[in-house]
């Protein structure tokens, strides 16, 4: 049975709808908000295991699993869905190393069920939330879409398997896709309406903000002996607002007849853990407690996007490409929340 939470009023700007799986989560909720603001008709599917119903600001929220093929077929048919945006997944790299079957079950097997439902319902477009983890540890520390995929953890492998299924289905049917390979997502809605509410989060900038506010004893720096300028890991941090905007660009591209694509989502430059820590200290105005720890399994020393292709193909222009801006919106979101809310 479909359980629909009370929707907010929204315009009906297009005759076809968008299904957003995992739309009550961190990234998905920002995409839902931007879709709603743009007037798209949409419905969110989320099992609420890590998502929050209050984060879904537009459209209907259906509580359910992406592995429930019958439920998804009903939604796709009843709501006249032409495009699916698939975010629902487990995303914690260290957990994927210790519990790989959990990741293959949810990220890969459930995606297979979702794709089967899409095929049966005649869905035309599919936007997939993938990850830079599919690249593993590229020798140069940078990855373009042509870089060989060689994931070093089950999280990346589970996403790569889903990519392959999607590409094969598109080749066999008329469905088109855009696969967006995210680099390190951070920040929050500058308007303060939504942000990352994940409990026991592991993403660096959120953890550093929580440590700055005394909600964690300290930030752990995992690995200080990497072959990087200051010995800590380097990542390409992208603001969640820019990432969400890329999904709307992908939707417009596919609906206008664009061909299937794989595109990196990053800014093309990186920051180390220590540089991020310094940015949080600037935003908060005081030192952030930290401790140094051993490297975590499955973490590459450096991973930065070659990100020219998404700008060329989708016309995507980032608006928040600044570490201090990313950190300040993340910190403002944390400051707006009750300590017990996370």
Residues 116-143 have pLDDT tens digits of 999 999 999 999 999 999 999 898 999 9
Q: Answer whether 209's CB lies under 8 Å from 64's CB.
A: no
Is residue 110 scored above 70 in pLDDT? yes
Residues 9-45: pLDDT tens digits? 444 445 689 999 999 999 999 999 999 999 999 999 9
Number of domains within the chain: 2
154 lies in the same domain as 215: no
Instruction: Look at residue 280 and tell me if it is in a domain.
Output: yes
Residues 316-335: pLDDT tens digits? 999 999 999 999 999 999 99
Instruction: Look at residue 194 and tell me if it is in a domain.
Output: no
116 lies in the same domain as 225: no
244 lies in the same domain as 259: yes
Look at 283 and 201; give whichever has higher pLDDT: 283
Catalytic-role residue among 26, 103, 104, 155: 155
242 lies in the same domain as 107: yes
Would you call 237 a catalytic residue per the annotation? no
Instruction: Look at residue 178 and tell me if it is in a domain.
Output: yes
Instruction: Look at residue 332 and tell me if it is in a domain.
Output: yes
Per-residue pLDDT, averaged over 228-256, amounts to: 98
52 lies in the same domain as 127: yes
133 lies in the same domain as 282: no
57 lies in the same domain as 172: yes
Please provide the average confidence, as pLDDT, over all residues in the chain: 93
Instruction: Look at residue 197 and tell me if it is in a domain.
Output: no
Query: What CA–CA distance (Å, rounded) separates 121 from 139?
Result: 42
46 lies in the same domain as 87: yes
124 lies in the same domain as 181: yes
Q: Is 235 helix (H, G, I), strand (E, B) or coil?
A: strand
Nearest to 125 by CA among 66, 45, 58, 179: 179
Is residue 238 scored above 90 in pLDDT? yes
Per-residue pLDDT, averaged over 289-296, amounts to: 94
Asked whether the CA dihedral 125, 116, 107, 75 is positive or negative, the reply is positive
227 lies in the same domain as 245: no
pLDDT of residue 15: 61
Per-residue pLDDT, averaged over 39-52, amounts to: 96
Q: Is 99 helix (H, G, I), strand (E, B) or coil?
A: coil
Q: Residue ranges of the alpha helices (H) in 6-153? A: 26-37, 69-78, 93-98, 100-103, 110-121
pLDDT of residue 202: 86
Instruction: Look at residue 301 and tell me if it is in a domain.
Output: yes
Instruction: Look at residue 103 and tell me if it is in a domain.
Output: yes
249 lies in the same domain as 118: yes
Residue 219 sits in a domain whose CATH number is: 3.90.25.10
Contacts of 50 (CB under 8 A, 6+ apart): 25, 198, 199
Distances in whole angstroms, Cα of residue 83 to Cα of each of 20, 21, 56, 326, 327: 9, 11, 18, 29, 32
Is residue 115 scored above 80 in pLDDT? yes
Q: Give residue 165's domain range.
A: 15-186+236-265
Q: Is 298 helix (H, G, I), strand (E, B) or coil?
A: coil
Residue 29 sits in a domain whose CATH number is: 3.40.50.720
Instruction: Look at residue 213 and tell me if it is in a domain.
Output: yes
Instruction: State the pLDDT confidence band at 59, using cuts at 50, 70 and 90.
Output: very high
82 lies in the same domain as 215: no
Per-residue pLDDT, averaged over 83-94, amounts to: 92
């Amino acid at each position: 049975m479909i359980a629909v939470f009370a929707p907010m009023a929204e315009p009906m700007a297009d005759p076809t709808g968008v299904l957003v799986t995992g739309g009550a989560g961190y990234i998905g909720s920002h995409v839902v908000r931007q879709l709603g603001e743009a007037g798209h008709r949409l419905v969110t599917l989320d099992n609420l295991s890590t998502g929050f119903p209050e984060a879904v600001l537009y459209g209907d929220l259906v509580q359910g699993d992406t592995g429930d093929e019958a439920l998804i077929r009903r939604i796709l048919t009843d709501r006249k869905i032409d495009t699916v945006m698939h975010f629902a997944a487990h995303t914690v790299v260290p957990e994927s190393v210790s519990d790989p079957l959990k990741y293959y079950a949810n990220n890969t097997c459930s995606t297979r069920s979702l794709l089967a439902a899409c095929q049966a319902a005649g869905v035309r477009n599919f936007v997939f939330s993938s990850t830079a983890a599919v690249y593993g540890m590229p020798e140069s520390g940078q990855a373009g879409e042509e870089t060989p995929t060689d994931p070093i953890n089950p999280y990346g492998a589970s996403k790569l398997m889903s990519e392959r299924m999607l590409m094969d289905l598109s080749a066999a049917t008329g469905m088109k896709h855009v696969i967006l390979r995210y680099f390190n997502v951070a920040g929050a809605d500058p308007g303060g309406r939504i942000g990352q509410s994940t409990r026991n989060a592991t993403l660096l900038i959120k953890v550093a903000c929580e440590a700055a506010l005394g909600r964690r004893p300290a930030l752990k720096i995992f690995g200080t002996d990497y072959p990087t300028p200051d010995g800590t890991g380097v990542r390409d941090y992208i603001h969640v607002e820019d990432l969400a905007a890329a999904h709307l660009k992908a939707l417009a591209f596919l609906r206008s007849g664009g061909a299937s694509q794989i595109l990196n989502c990053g800014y093309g430059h990186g920051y180390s853990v220590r540089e991020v820590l310094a940015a949080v200290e600037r935003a908060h105005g005081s030192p952030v407690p930290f401790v140094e720890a051993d490297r975590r399994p499955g973490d590459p020393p450096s991973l930065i996007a070659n990100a020219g292709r998404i700008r060329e193909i989708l016309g995507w222009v980032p608006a928040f490409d600044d570490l201090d801006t990313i950190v300040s919106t993340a910190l403002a979101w944390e400051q707006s929340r009750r300590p017990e809310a996370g």
